[in-house]
Amino acid sequence: MAFNCEVLAIGSELLLGQVVDTNSSWIGARLAEAGIDCYYQAKVGDNQARIVAAVRQGLDRADAVICCGGLGPTQDDITREALAEVMGVPLRRDAALEAGLRERFKGREVPETNYRQADVPEGARPITALTGTAPGLVCPVGAKVVYAVPGVPAEMREMVGGPVVDDLVGRSGEKATVRSRFLRVWGMPESKVAEVVAPRVTALEGTATTIAFLANISEGVRVRITTRATGPEAGALALAALDAEEAELRALLGGFVGGVDDEGLEVVVGRLLQRSGLRLGLAESLTGGMVAARLTSVPGASRWFTGAVVSYSDAVKRDRLGVGPGPVVSEDAARRMAAGALEALGADIALSLTGVAGPELQDGQPVGTVYFGLATKDGPEPEVHHALLSGGNRQLVRERAATQGLDLVRRLLTERLS
Amino acid sequence: MAFNCEVLAIGSELLLGQVVDTNSSWIGARLAEAGIDCYYQAKVGDNQARIVAAVRQGLDRADAVICCGGLGPTQDDITREALAEVMGVPLRRDAALEAGLRERFKGREVPETNYRQADVPEGARPITALTGTAPGLVCPVGAKVVYAVPGVPAEMREMVGGPVVDDLVGRSGEKATVRSRFLRVWGMPESKVAEVVAPRVTALEGTATTIAFLANISEGVRVRITTRATGPEAGALALAALDAEEAELRALLGGFVGGVDDEGLEVVVGRLLQRSGLRLGLAESLTGGMVAARLTSVPGASRWFTGAVVSYSDAVKRDRLGVGPGPVVSEDAARRMAAGALEALGADIALSLTGVAGPELQDGQPVGTVYFGLATKDGPEPEVHHALLSGGNRQLVRERAATQGLDLVRRLLTERLS
């Protein structure tokens, strides 16, 4: 069996269903990127005997185990004690970690219980916490290893995404640093993305860099670049390889690339608006405020977003946006809504969305029918786009419409800025 | 060790982090409600040898194992084969399940691969699927038992929440049906809820019914009623006990009870609006469309929701809603926004929200400051409520403001209808 690593999430709240364990999934994805097999993940409560048994079972099957959680300062945080038991060694207070704790408390008295976070099983090596106070642990057990990382997602990600994956890749015999970056592609189906990117996949054959595709119906396609580098400058080399490949892919995919990594379309649109010095307004019908809510989730949105008219009733469409008589799910209604929003909200660009979210047909049009209007202050007649978002329920149709609408704004702004 | 049950989620996509396993958490919560201990939960990929090993390890530790996933019709769905191996028996095609499949395909030819869903390990008992096509399995292994349920959440919930939990409670020696219901309480802190409900906790001592509290900062407090009943009428008896206790709690908590179980405030507000024959309009500033988006997620919202003005810029507040000069995070602005929305949106009731979501102060007011306005068509001056939602980031402040605003509408409507 190839070198492999298991994940053990620790915390009674996970078993009771009070908190969903998303950490293991995140770690699983990072292990897959790094080419390390993961055949087994488990959850166990805050009970020392059961944690010890679970770690031992993991070590029977796998080369490494990542334990997540139970490193806090309270009495039910017992991962340190459990790992000392697995290693058959006592805990020793680490002087450097103790000094770090005192520094973090800046003169205030360190609660006695917090000093437990400076305890390290004899023979284990601490991983310093960059954020948070909980240090991680690297615990050798014979030729195998157990890592302990905090359960707080941000702290866990920092440790697993850096030192833990690096150490694992080294132990797997590869001695490499593995790093990934995601380019988010909007408005192009996965099969088309694969076709466009095919020359790069061929060009990369035999190199340390690979490309993979991940598709999600409401989040678009993500193109993952993964690269491996070695030597003392491995980190810098990996970063340079990612930058170089990102540039190659952007050259092929052009305006279809939106954000990088976890960056949503709303962040990208906000940045483009800020750069253009333009302000956006919205007229939302089927999305009922979802586009506005996404945009205003970005701090500082008031600099580039004026507001929205959520025109759910026909009277609001007519009286506030100047939509005429006739069907409200139509090209004409979308055009008038966009023009009306531009005017009513004092915006430079306006996006309108009208359509059928379901569950029932409207004006004889099927669920998933959407018209988007795009109006610009100095521009000609508003342009209208049409889509049929099939195969989803009400919420999915609305989410996809919101995403597609934001992508239309993104493309318009990208064109203007280029 | 008390009777206990483990959970094994099956699917390579779970290990790769492409799908987060929420099923185990849901099952863990149901087991806790039923008083069945769960010390261990695991995830394993679509590999027969590893599934078999994981189930056997579970049976070594526990009295029962619930396997979730791998019951579909495709070749990587191998839970049936794995459980037959654990039991040491062959698979047999079940005639009734086969007939059920043919019926479900209504004359169209059943794809050969789908017939695999009619295969049952010899000596196991199928659990008929109410929704979906994947039947579940009850597989006795010596004195212990393994259940298999589908990975599709809705299908899994139906089976685990009914027949599986009932069977487990029976095996635990209790011979009882355990059922729970959640009452969602809004606008009252957990400590106060506990105080108000204390007489019922006392009254229920020694009975088959218990009460528990679960709090979540953006979802309010949930009061859980759990009851046990026995005998051939156990289901009906449990339901009657839940109804009776719900009535007692509603008498104590009065208008603070919103929905039941997973029912969000938007569903409750929609139902109250429908019953009152009134239509709601919104003026949203800091929540930027979140309240509108929640309300329009409810099918049929157009019957009771006219629309919203998302007045993110001061010009929109002034020109569209008639807000005067002066600070826009103020009692006066909230009042004018509500009155303006009533007028602009042709609504019978209007809610306004203005405040500081952060990350920065505004007009010298701290992050978390919110003013809510409530205007009614036939009513007096709009009323204004003030809140300081402290200790959260931008998104949390917005979510809590949206929830609190919806709760104000709920209370107004409840009063009017009473």
Query: Following DSSP, what letter does each residue of B53-115 receive, concatenated?
Result: HHHHHHHHH-SEEEEES--SSSTT--HHHHHHHHHT--EEE-HHHHHHHHHHTTTSPPPGGGG
The percent of residues in chain A predicted with pLDDT above 90, rounded, is 65
Task: Read off the DSSP letter of residue A111.
Answer: P
Strands (E) in A232-345, as ranges, are 257-260, 280-284, 305-311
Task: Please tell me which residue, A11 or B188, carries the higher pLDDT value.
Answer: A11
Model ipTM value: 0.79
Chain A closest-CA separation from residue B225 CA (Å): 16
To the nearest whole percent, how much of chain B has pLDDT over 90? Answer: 66
Q: Are A146 and A83 in contact (CB under 8 A)?
A: yes
Q: What backbone torsions phi and psi does residue A156 show, to the nearest 5 degrees?
A: -60, -45
Q: Using alpha carbons, select from A251, A179, A264 the residue that is nearest to residue A220.
A: A264
Same domain for A271 and A255:
no
Residue type, A269: V
Q: Are residues B79 and B48 in the same domain?
A: yes
Residue A108 DSSP symbol: S
- Assess whether A63 and A152 both reside in one domain: yes
**Cβ within 8 Å of B, A 47-76:** 47, 50, 54, 57
pLDDT at A272 over 90: yes
A156/A52 same-domain check: yes
Task: Report the pLDDT averaged over residues A163-176.
Answer: 86
* A320–B345 C-beta distance less than 8 A: yes
- Which residue, among B81, B68, B94, B260, has the nearest Cα to B182 in the 3D structure? B260
Whether residue A353 is predicted with pLDDT greater than 70 in this model: the reply is yes
Check B296 against A279: CB less than 8 A apart.
no
* B153 and B12 in a common domain: yes
Of A18, A21, A316, the CB nearest to B307: A316
Last residue of a domain, one of B121, B147, B171: B171
pLDDT computed for residue B163 by the predictor: 92
- The answer on B384 and B283 residing in a single domain is yes
- Whether A177 shows a pLDDT value over 80: the answer reads no
Q: What are residue A177's DSSP bridge partners?
A: A229
Contact B41 A15 (CB under 8 A): yes
- Listing DSSP states for A328-396 in one string gives SSSHHHHHHHHHHHHHHTT-SEEEEEEE--SSS-BTTBPTTEEEEEEEETTSSSPEEEEEE--S--HHH
CB B308 within 8 A of CB B320: no
pLDDT of residue B217: 63
One-letter identity of residue A305: F
Position B66 pLDDT exceeds 70: yes
pLDDT at A361: 86
Which of A64, A39, A174, A203 is CA-nearest to residue B49?
A39
pLDDT at B369: 96
Mean pLDDT, rounded, for A161-186 = 87
Alpha-carbon distances, residue B256 vs B191, B251, B291, B315 (angstroms): 14, 10, 20, 37
Q: Verify that B27 and B167 share a domain, yes or no.
A: yes
- Please tell me the distance in Å from A124's CA to the nearest CA on chain B: 26
The enclosing domain of A205 has a CATH number of: 3.30.70.2860
Running DSSP on this structure, what letter comes out for residue B161? I
Question: How close B192 gets to chain A, by Cα (Å)?
Answer: 21
Distance from CA of B406 to the nearest CA of A (A): 15
> Does residue A211 sit in the same domain as residue A158?
no
Of B22-31, B107-116, B318-327, the least confident: B107-116
pLDDT at A391: 65
If one compares B30 and A234, the residue with the highest pLDDT of the two is: B30
CATH code for position B143: 3.40.980.10
Contact A284 B289 (CB under 8 A): yes
CA torsion sign for A187, A189, A195, A198 is positive
Residues A256 and A129 in one domain: no
Local confidence band at B252 (pLDDT 50, 70, 90 cut-offs): very high
Q: How many domains does chain A have?
A: 3
CA dihedral (A337, A342, A346, A351) positive or negative? positive
pLDDT at B92: 96
- Percentage of chain A surpassing pLDDT 70? 98
Task: Give me the residues paired with residue A1 across strands.
Answer: none
Which chain B residues are closer than 8 Å to A35 by Cβ? none
The domain spanning residue B281 has which CATH number?
3.90.950.20
Banded pLDDT at B1 (limits 50, 70, 90): low
- Mark whether A145 and A197 lie in a shared domain: no
Q: Determine which of A17-21, A337-341, B85-89, B189-193 has the lowest per-residue pLDDT on average.
A: B189-193
pLDDT digits (tens, 9 = 90+) for B113-163: 788 899 999 999 999 877 667 899 999 999 999 999 999 888 899 999 989
Contacts with A174 (C-beta within 8 Å, 6 or more apart), sequence order: A35, A228
Of B171, B195, B225, the position where a domain reaches its end is B171
Q: What is the pLDDT of residues A191-208, one digit of tens each?
A: 889 899 999 999 999 999
Residue numbers of the domain that contains A253: 177-260
What stretch of H or E contains A246? helix A234-253
Spatial distance between the Cα atoms of B415 and B411, rounded to a whole number of angstroms: 6
| B281 or B37, greater pLDDT | B281
Cβ–Cβ < 8 Å for B75, B35: no
- How confident is residue B218, by pLDDT bands cut at 50, 70 and 90? low
Determine the distance from the C-alpha atom of residue B206 to the mean position of all C-alpha atoms in its chain, rounded to a whole number: 29
Domain boundary among B260, B282, B306: B260
Report pLDDT for B14.
Answer: 92
**Which comes out higher in pLDDT, residue A79 or A114?**
A79
Which residue type occupies B207?
Answer: T
Q: Would strands B5-10 and B40-44 be described as parallel, antiparallel, or unpaired?
A: parallel
Which of B25, B31, B37, B310 to probe the A interface (max A CBs under 10 A)?
Answer: B310
Report the distance separating Cα B202 and Cα B308, nearest Å. Answer: 46
CA distance to A174, A194, A205, A246, A400, per residue, from A199 (Å) = 27, 9, 10, 14, 30
**By mean pLDDT, which of B293-307, B385-399, B400-414 is the weakest?**
B385-399
β-sheet bridge partners, residue B282: B308, B351
Summary mean pLDDT of chain A:
91
- What are phi and psi for residue A297, nearest 5 degrees? -75, -15
pLDDT of B206 reads 92
